[in-house]
Amino acid sequence: MFRTITQTIIIAIIEGLTEFLPVSSTGHMILASAAMNIHEDEFVKTSEIFIQLGAILGIALIYLKRFLQ
């Protein structure tokens, strides 16, 4: 089952909010997917990787600016 745009936005918000907390953001994404009855298939796994990549890239850019100052 593919995710809808709304489900993808909810998962991305969960990832963004929990990325900075000392808890597993991936675990929260998995729990949210299960709560929304989204079955794990290759598309869902790939979209989770891209959502995480965006969060990691955002953090890397913030720290890159700090290191360059």
pLDDT digits (tens, 9 = 90+) for 15-54: 888 877 778 778 888 888 889 888 888 888 888 888 888 8
Contact 49, 15 (CB under 8 A): no
Mean pLDDT computed over 2-8: 80
Query: How large is the average pLDDT for residues 4-22?
Result: 84
pTM metric for this prediction? 0.66
Higher pLDDT, 11 or 1: 11
Q: Is the pLDDT of residue 1 over 80?
A: no
